[in-house]
Each structure stands twice: as structure tokens, then as C-alpha cells.
Structure 1
Amino acid sequence: MIEVSDTSTIGAAFEAAARTFAERPFLAVPRGAHRPYHRDGYEISYADAARAVGALREAYGRAGFGHGHRVAMLLDNRPEHLLHKLALAGLGICCVPVNPDYRPNELAYLIDHAEVDLAIVAPERREQLDAGLAVATAKPPVVPFDALELLPAPARPRRADPVTGASAASILYTSGTTGRPKGCILSHGYELEAGAWYATRGQLARVSPDGERIYNPLPLYHVNSSVLSFFCAMLTGGCQIQSDRFHPDRWWTEVRETRATIVHYLGVVVPMLLARPESPQDRSHSVRFGLGAGVEPPLHAAFEARFGFPLVEVWGMTEMVRVLLDNEEGRPAGTRCFGHPVPGIDVRVVDDRDEEVPTGVPGELVVRHSAQTPRRGFFSGYLKSDEATAEAWRNGWFHTGDVVRQDAAGGLYFVDRKKNIIRRSGENIAAAEIEAVLLAHPGVAQVAVLAAPDPIREEEVFACIVLKNETDRPAMAEELFAYCCGELAYYKAPGWIYFLDRLPTTGTQKIQKHQIFPDGVPPFDSPDVFDMRGRKKRTPLHAAR
């Protein structure tokens, strides 16, 4: 394994890995006629990846890009995203991955907020990016990812100081509780230590030094695949198998054909796979364990019994992805436990006054590295929001916003989210962002967005709306749904729309969400509730050019 610390740089670590594991496979893509790229599959060795990364690095450097610049990347889950990421990191350039489901206003916000110096794009996404740039204040140059000979000189000079472990490697945008997503700044040291942490957990999650093949269908604009599994693979001589996204009809074919030994999942994956007809091929694979979160306890045990490998439940977040995990040998499956405190992750469960709660009592999970170095291995801060960073780190502990309980043996169990966040199919959705969009519609007087339980996607967006004027409610539901889809990524649009005559408020007119459904159950069967879930569809890619 390549040894790293919080002072290591990604460029140096990759060069060491390429020398050590030269002929081993580094990145792979399953076959897929549905994609506009690598339809026959793809695999590249460490040595060949090093040559490709070197050529990209030379092209960026020759154009004048370097330490301190930021590059937006709209490449979906192409393996080239990871090669460009390594080339950028080698020069001290910060990559800003772009969610391909973003609508123009969301794209414009990211471009302006991150102040990117350049955007690189896949051909099938150029029209989408141009639509975002049309409403953005900033107008960075745009270059196809495979035509770096077109790179212009940057508008501002690169920094002269050397790249270090503290240099920014990525800015990942994650939903906050007050509206627009927050940009999490991740350093070289953070990203490498996250991979090393995963690689050394052992027991049920043992990573072999002989080279694992990690199948990860999760998006590269998330920390799970772009940092956690990627750097675990790189530091141990493994291969990251990067699918474009999860689909139950393709999962097992891709896992078998790529000879995956580890798979990453979300809670939505397990019920979809269990719903498929049983087959003699159910155990015809090479998978030793799965790593993920959000599986309902009864399904957890059923999955392990049917498919023959353990599901290791984890807890982590973009701000700190050195995961806690339920990896102990002999642990019972499906208990909602996601692990125990270990050296390198101190844990407390606290009330609203930051005082520890008794064993078994739910409270907010707060974490740190240690008393001496509380922020080691954590994100560097929220971009342009020192106040939000300080608030998250109050009293020397990072406040996660997750409500958990702890048993007498130290086991941690997820209960709920304290933050006003909806968790749908692995995406964190800020209720406030959807509320702001709906309130901008001329027909809406009040709105409250909540999380509703969903049997497949864990939670769904439930929008409670008071109209300014009474109108045809079914038609208005259609209009508001289409309006949201035009302003927000498809998964953020309301899955349920509920029209009410009024919303409960305080004396100062603050909406009291907890009083909308006193028994905690939304009125799904009400004639004033409209089910839009079947209409939430990802926008198809433009035909490849």
C-alpha cells in the first residue's frame, strides 16, 4: 500500500502508485450500448494511466493553468473525469465536479459561486452547460475534455507557492439547510487519508493488497466514488470499475463481467435487486462484500442470505468521509448499526445544549479526529462561508445534523436527520431550496417542503402548498411540477404535491412544519394530494456528437 499522510499530495501519491502497480488495471468501465461513450467497455493500466495523466498535465500547464485555479468538469461518470482530476491535482488545480442533472440556474450558481477559471465538458453536455452559462454572471472559457489543444490562457496567474497536502483538490457541492448548496473544500490530504482509512478498516471490509476490483455506480460529483473508493483503489493497487449509474437490469451483468470483488450501494439498490426473480446466477459472482448505507434491517438480512456476501453499513459525509462502519466479524445483519467509535474518530451524542445524552437516548452525532487535532481529515471549510464553517464546528466538534443513539457497547444507530434535509436515493435535498423555487411562482402564497417516507427511495419530496387564489387543483399540480422541473434537478421536484387552505404558523408567521401532520403521517389518500413520483425522470442525454 502507498503510505500517505495529511501532508501528502495527490500527484506524488499517484506517481508512486503508477511505479508500484504499473501493469495492474487502474480504471475500468463495463460494456454498455446505452451510453454515448465506451460502449464496448474500457480498461486502462496504472502505467498507461500515468502516461495519459502526464499528457493532460502538460497540456494544462503549457496553457498556463496551475496552483490556485479551479476547473469545472461536466463529464458524467466517464473515466476521463478521474484522469483529468489527477492531472489537475498534480498542478495544484482544484476540480469542481458538476452534477449533470442540474438545470441552467443551478449550473449558473455553481459557476458563479466557485469562480471557476475554466470548464471542460463532454460533447453531449455542451448544450446544457451553455444554457447555464447564458444566465451566469461569470463567463469562463469552455473546452471539450478531449481537445485541450484549444485551451486558452487563464485570465489570472497561477500561484507560485508549492502544492501541499493543504492545497484544495476538489470543491464538492452538497445541499445545505438554508437554500443553495454549500461548496465543501477538500484538500489533497483529506482525499488521500479518506482512501487510506477505507483501505485499512479490515475484518468484513478487508481490502486485499493484491488488488481489489471496486464496482461503484455512484456519481463522480459525490465523495463516495470520486474520493472514498477511488483513492482506496489507487493506494492499494486496485481497480475502480466506474459504471455510469445504477440500473437493476444491468447491475449483476456488469458486476459479473467486470469481475468485481467489492460493490458500493445505496439503500435504493437493495430492494430493487431483491424484487427481481430469484435465479441460479444469484451467487455467480466474485463479490466479497458490499459497502453502503440506508438498507432497511429486514432487507439487509434477506439480501445477505440470497446473494451470499455481507453488506457493510457505513456512516460518512462530504465534510468527513473517513467512514464509521459496521464491519465486525460475526455482527448480526440488519440492526441499523453503522459502527463504533475508533481511534481517529471521536464521537459524542449530544442534546441541543451540546451536553451528552444518556445511553440509548437519541441525540445529534458530533465528531472530531481527536482532542489534539480535531479537524484532521475533515474538509477545509465551506467556500465563502466562514460563518457556516464555524457554526458546524462549534465547541470543537463537528455537528453532523444526524440524530443517532448509542448502545452500552458503543454501537451507533441512525435514527433521523436533524437538518431540514430530504434523503432521496442517495441525494441530499435541501427543503429550503425547493421552497424558494415554489414561492417564486406567482400562484403560490405559502409552502412547506418535508420528507415523506418512500418504500423504494427512502424518502420523497412532499410539498405542502397554499395557493394565492383557488383554482383547478389538478391543473395547478401539473403546472407547479413542470415549473420545478424547469428550475431544479429532476430528483428535487416534488414527488407529492398537497394543497391546503392554510399552514400552521407561530405568532411571528413562521411556519411550524411539525404541526402540519400531528401524527407524523402525510395524508397520501387525500383528494388534495397529487402523486407526481412517476413523472420524475432523469433528462436523457443528447445524442453523442
Structure 2
Amino acid sequence: MMNTQLTLTQMIERAERYFPKKEVVSRTSPSKIHRLTYAQIGKRTRSLSSVLEKLGVKRGDRVGTLAWNQHRHLEAYFAVPCMGAVLHTINMRLSDDHLVYIINHAEDKVLLIDEDIVPIIEKVKDQLSTVTAFIIMTDKETLPETSLEPAYSYEALLVTGDENYPFCNDIDENEPAGMCYTSATTGKPKGVVYSHRGIVLHSLALGLADTKGISESDVNMPIVPMFHVNAWGIPFASTWFGSKQVLLGPNVTPKLICEFIESEKVTATAGVPTIWIGVLKELEENTYDMSSLRLMICGGAAAPKGLIKQYREKYGIPFVHAYGLTETTPLLTVSKLKSGQSDLTEEEQLEIRAKQGMAVPGLEVKIINEKGEAAHDGKEIGELLVRGLWIADSYYKDDRSKESFRDGWFYTGDIAAIDEEGYIKLVDRTKDLIKSGGEWISSVDLENALMAHEAVFEAAVVAVPHPKWQERPVACVVLKDSYRNAVTKDDLLSYLKPQFAKWWLPDDMIFLEELPKTSVGKFLKRELREQLKGHLKPSV
């Protein structure tokens, strides 16, 4: 067999050669939408590589991006690794302390920054020890006023670049292509490095019919940010396979998502549950043509069964669970029915779809408990372990690697059960499980049950210290507008009672205007736990 290196250069070169007329639709502001072909993207990508080289970026150097989903960010996705450097996508929604930490820890040499994010970096610029240049990505013809120095206009630099710049042709597939830091609910963020080989194999997996089936005929619109685990790998696979891409830029709303699905005939999209909860509300209030959608991927957290059911039955939208982590590039599982399960009842099929799914080809999984490897019977739970073709083997320059990477396995920190068919069901994160009177309670199961209630918009269940039982569950609930002041704590507890043992039921039900969320839209349970410390008094 030929020893052909798996590198990102083949992806962008294939798009240039075979799909030069295919579009990338990029919204950079409410009033500005760009339409570029892969031929144009290719030339701009090569120009970016050449100007980064002129700015002193060398092989192995890190180039950071602080940008939304837009065409310039896509160009950086290929320009940086295809010149032998490393793309570091940065979550600009992190705290100032964490931003400074990850930029310095990664030793970023150049930062590419969307114009509206510039003020965030201006605040911390004096604490950045390795950055030698700031490139501002703007639609304006002149460089916006800034205290960053030296600062350059992205578009002005591209004019001086070489659109025929030859990509590096001797990259080893095991060299780093990109990196991303975890959002860190505790401690400092941890860096994960992605090799060329890992990204290429991950992209191939995204094209499998039993995963996401991305193909040339697709119109892909990732809602998950491009700064978060490479937008789940969708931009890489879409470029390689020649799919049309729709990138929505900043300030994305459910209304905007629905409008672009309708106008651009989007076939596949992906986001976290809170995004799809908001879109469902928009669909209930207004009318859109969503008939082009063949796939709505939900990841980042477990989706409520009620959400899956409404999308499939009310709107005919195939809603598919997927699961992964920063350390897994991220695709780990996809929940699709097997051919022999088509005769199951709707409720039985829904039970399967609500699970996180089976490990995709190329990966192995198992669960372990205190006694060792747990049974895959769908009942016994344990920590989920994974290994495979695109799984990280350590954290970047971080002593915490030995806690999570052991004996050739990545310890995910997720508690799960695996049934006889191989379907994984997440029970909780290890830190979110509730231990009450020596027994475990799953916050995820309670949340999903609550969000299946017609009155509930969002729900998060957290462990609150209890003087007798160690911990007890407390539910934080946001009601839909039409049910405000019409549904009580007792109403929701009565709804839960038939579904759970008595000791699983929340000790309290707190109604909030909104739930705190992480930078990528997950419920921020750490903040809720902090707010509710001491909520359950000894007299309870």
C-alpha cells in the first residue's frame, strides 16, 4: 500500500479542483452577507498563508483566532495548518483570566480577531507575552481604530499576499494541525492538540451514512461555534466533500436560524439542546419552510425526549443525538436506529433516539465502576472510557494528563450505561451526579422529564447539600411565557411522581427568568450550585 500522508492540504486542494463554483455563504454582520466560491476561498487561503509567513509565522508556531462562524475564519482553518503552523481556535466568551492563560500557555504568535471582539483583547493586551501581531478581520476598507500594536487589516494584508502560495508538501500526518482548550468548569482550561491525521480521519467518519452522512449535495450550517472543537469538524468535512456552507456570524437568534434554513435550503445543521429549544419556540410562533432539512444534530448535552419527539412528529425534522468532547475531536457516538429496529413502537424508537448512540467506526468504548469493567446490560453504570483513531492521548503541557489518560484509554468523566445493542446512555457528569443517602440520582433524567412537560422551556437539576441525606436534588425551571404564573411547583412534582421513585423527586422547584449558561450554551450548573448552597435547611 502507498504510504500517503493524511494532511489538511488535500482537503482544500480537492475543493479548489473539483468544486470551484460551490458557495460559502458568510454573514459577518446583520447587514453584510458574503457569497464566495471555493475557488475564491482557495486563493484567499493561500494569500493568508503567505502573509502569515511574512509576519514571521514558522512551522509549528501557534496562530490564534477569536472569531465567529464566517468565511475569514474558514480560511484560517486551512491557511494556518497547510503552511505547517497550528490553528488555535479561542473561545472569546471565557473570562479575561482564562483568555490570558490559554493565549500565553499556547504561546500564540499571531492573533486573528473579529472587529467586534477587539475590545476584549484590548483589555488584556499588556498581559499577552508571546503575541507579535494582531490581524483584525473587518468588512471596513480601513483599519478600525485600536490600541493593539502592531495591528493589521485582514483584507489589506490579503491584497499583498500570494494567491498561488504553495502549501507545505512535506507535513507529517502526526504533526499538530490545530488545538482547542476546554472551557474548564474548575481549574485552568486544558489544551487539546489535534493532528492532521486525526482531523482527516474524523472528517471521513463524518461522511459515513451511519454518522452524519455529509456529502457534496449537502448545505451545511453549523450553529455550534467555530471556536468550539472546530465546529464539531463540520467545516473541515464540508470543504473536503464539496458541500455548500452557511456561516451565520455573530448574534445568532432562533429567528435567524429559521430564516437561513428556509432561504438557503439548508440540509444539515448542528447545535446544543438550548439552541434547538429556542428554535422550537420560534417554529411554534411563526411559520417557516424547513422541508430541506434532512438532519438536525444535537450534541453538547442530553436532549429531552419531548424535544426529539416534537421535532420529528410535529415538524417532520430528523433530530439526531450525537455525543463527544473536546478530547475526542469531538465525534464519539451517534444515535440512529438499526435496520432491525424499524418495527419497534414509536415510544420504543424514541427511547433509543434519546440515548447518545453507538460508538462510531474507529473508536472503542467501555464503562468501568469501582469493581472494574461494568456489564453492558443497560442497567449497570460506570465511567465511560474511549480510545481510537482521533482521540487525544494527553493535554498540552499539562500535568493533569495522567488523571484522564491511563493505560491507553481516555477517561471521559461521564457516567453512562451501555445496553446489549451497544447504545450509550449518559447518566451524568461525575461532578453532576447527586448522591442522596448513599444512592445515586441522575440530574439528566430529571431534567429531561421536566422539559417534556408542555409548560417547561428549560430545566436544570443540581445537587444541594443536605444535613441528613448528604445531597438532595433541587430543580431550577424556566416556564414558557404562556404558562408563567399558571404552573406551580406542586403541578410539576405531580407530573414527575409517576416516573420516578419518591426519593428521586426534587426537594424544591425554583422558578427563574433564565438559566445561566456556559459560553457554548450548556447549562452552567456550577453557578446554580453556588447560588443554592444552604438552600435546604436542617429543618427540611
User: Please, what TM-score do these two structures have when normalized by structure 1?
Assistant: 0.71
Residues 310 and 106 of structure 1: CA distance in aligned 2, closer, same or farther (over 3 Å) = same
Q: In the alignment, is the contact (CA less than 8 A) between 2:462 and 2:473 conserved in 1?
A: no
Could you tell me how far 1:536 is from its partner in structure 2? 7.9
Q: Which residue matches 2:239?
A: 234
Residues 143 and 263 of structure 1: CA distance in aligned 2, closer, same or farther (over 3 Å) = closer
Q: 1:361 aligns with which of 372, 375, 380?
A: 380
RMSD across aligned C-alpha pairs, in angstroms?
3.7
Please give the secondary structure, in 1, of the residue aligned with 2:198.
helix
Could you tell me how far 1:124 is from its partner in structure 2? 2.4
Write the distance in 1 (CA, Å) between the matches of 2:460 and 2:230. 20
Q: Which residue matches 1:222?
A: 228
For residues 376-395 of structure 1, what are the structure 2 equivalents within 5 Å? 376-379=389-392, 381-385=394-398, 387-395=399-407
Please give the secondary structure, in 1, of the residue aligned with 2:121.
helix
For residues 256-335 of structure 1, what are the structure 2 equivalents within 5 Å? 256-276=262-282, 278=284, 281-293=287-299, 294-320=302-328, 321-328=330-337, 330=342, 332-333=349-350, 335=352
Write the distance in 1 (CA, Å) between the matches of 2:410 and 2:189. 18
Amino acid at match of 2:26: V
Q: 1:21 aligns with which of 19, 22, 30?
A: 19
Q: In the alignment, is the contact (CA less than 8 A) between 2:207 and 2:214 conserved in 1?
A: yes
Q: In the alignment, is the contact (CA less than 8 A) between 1:316 and 1:322 conserved in 2?
A: yes
Amino acid at match of 1:333: L
Q: 2:474 aligns with which of 521, 541, 545?
A: 521
Write the distance in 2 (CA, Å) between the matches of 1:285 and 1:117. 45
Which 5+ residue runs of structure 1 have no aligned equivalent? 34-38, 152-159, 370-375, 423-449, 465-502, 506-511, 539-545
Q: Does 2:417 match 1:402?
A: no
Write the distance in 2 (CA, Å) between the matches of 1:522 and 1:248. 25
Q: Does 2:340 match 1:340?
A: no
Amino acid at match of 1:521: V
Write the distance in 2 (CA, Å) between the matches of 1:223 and 1:262. 18
Which 5+ residue runs of structure 2 have no aligned equivalent? 139-152, 159-167, 435-442, 478-488, 490-506, 520-540
Please give the secondary structure, in 2, of the residue aligned with 1:365.
strand
Please give the secondary structure, in 2, of the residue aligned with 1:121.
strand
Residues 28 and 41 of structure 1: CA distance in aligned 2, closer, same or farther (over 3 Å) = same
171-180 or 247-256: which moved more? 171-180
Could you tell me how far 1:420 is from its partner in structure 2? 6.0
Q: Which residue matches 2:535?
A: none
Q: Which residue matches 2:50?
A: 58
Q: Which residue matches 1:98?
A: 90
Write the distance in 2 (CA, Å) between the matches of 1:253 and 1:231. 24
Please give the secondary structure, in 1, of the residue aligned with 2:262.
helix
Residues 416-451 of structure 1: per-residue CA shift (max 9 Å, x gap): 1114699xxxxxxxxxxxxxxxxxxxxxxxxxxx99
Could you tell me how far 1:60 is from its partner in structure 2? 1.4
Q: Which residue matches 1:489?
A: none
Amino acid at match of 1:20: Y
Q: In the alignment, is the contact (CA less than 8 A) between 1:103 and 1:132 conserved in 2?
A: no
Residues 273 and 179 of structure 1: CA distance in aligned 2, closer, same or farther (over 3 Å) = same
Write the distance in 2 (CA, Å) between the matches of 1:405 and 1:123. 45
Higher relative contact order (CA 8 A, sep 6+): 1
Q: How many residues align?
A: 436
Write the distance in 1 (CA, Å) between the matches of 2:270 and 2:239. 16
Could you tell me how far 1:358 is from its partner in structure 2? 5.2
Q: In the alignment, is the contact (CA less than 8 A) between 1:196 and 1:231 conserved in 2?
A: no
Could you tell me how far 1:232 is from its partner in structure 2? 1.9
Please give the secondary structure, in 2, of the residue aligned with 1:165.
coil
Residues 304-326 of structure 1: per-residue CA shift (max 9 Å, x gap): 11221211111111111233111
Could you tell me how far 1:51 is from its partner in structure 2? 0.8
Q: Which residue matches 2:369?
A: 351
Q: In the alignment, is the contact (CA less than 8 A) between 2:312 and 2:319 conserved in 1?
A: yes
For residues 68-79 of structure 1, what are the structure 2 equivalents within 5 Å? 68-79=60-71
Residues 483-518 of structure 1: per-residue CA shift (max 9 Å, x gap): xxxxxxxxxxxxxxxxxxxx789xxxxxx9x82xx3
Q: Does 2:402 match 1:418?
A: no
Q: In the alignment, is the contact (CA less than 8 A) between 1:30 and 1:243 conserved in 2?
A: yes
Write the distance in 1 (CA, Å) between the matches of 2:131 and 2:43. 32
Residues 28-71 of structure 1: per-residue CA shift (max 9 Å, x gap): 125862xxxxx242221111111111111111123332211111
Q: Which residue matches 2:537?
A: none
Write the distance in 2 (CA, Å) between the matches of 1:120 and 1:251. 26
Could you tell me how far 1:348 is from its partner in structure 2? 0.9
Residues 458-493 of structure 1: per-residue CA shift (max 9 Å, x gap): 64889x8xxxxxxxxxxxxxxxxxxxxxxxxxxxxx
Q: In the alignment, is the contact (CA less than 8 A) between 1:365 and 1:403 conserved in 2?
A: yes
For residues 488-507 of structure 1, what are the structure 2 equivalents within 5 Å? none
Could you tell me how far 1:350 is from its partner in structure 2? 1.2
Amino acid at match of 2:22: R
Q: Which residue matches 2:79?
A: 87
Q: In the alignment, is the contact (CA less than 8 A) between 2:461 and 2:474 conserved in 1?
A: no
Write the distance in 2 (CA, Å) between the matches of 1:312 and 1:214. 15
Write the distance in 2 (CA, Å) between the matches of 1:127 and 1:240. 29
Write the distance in 2 (CA, Å) between the matches of 1:253 and 1:56. 32
User: Please, what TM-score do these two structures have when normalized by structure 2?
Assistant: 0.71
Write the distance in 1 (CA, Å) between the matches of 2:516 and 2:393. 39
Could you tell me how far 1:186 is from its partner in structure 2? 1.1
Residues 51 and 178 of structure 1: CA distance in aligned 2, closer, same or farther (over 3 Å) = same
Write the distance in 1 (CA, Å) between the matches of 2:516 and 2:286. 35
Could you tell me how far 1:162 is from its partner in structure 2? 4.2
For residues 106-185 of structure 1, what are the structure 2 equivalents within 5 Å? 106-138=98-130, 140-145=132-137, 147=153, 162-176=170-184, 178-185=186-193
Q: In the alignment, is the contact (CA less than 8 A) between 1:112 and 1:136 conserved in 2?
A: yes
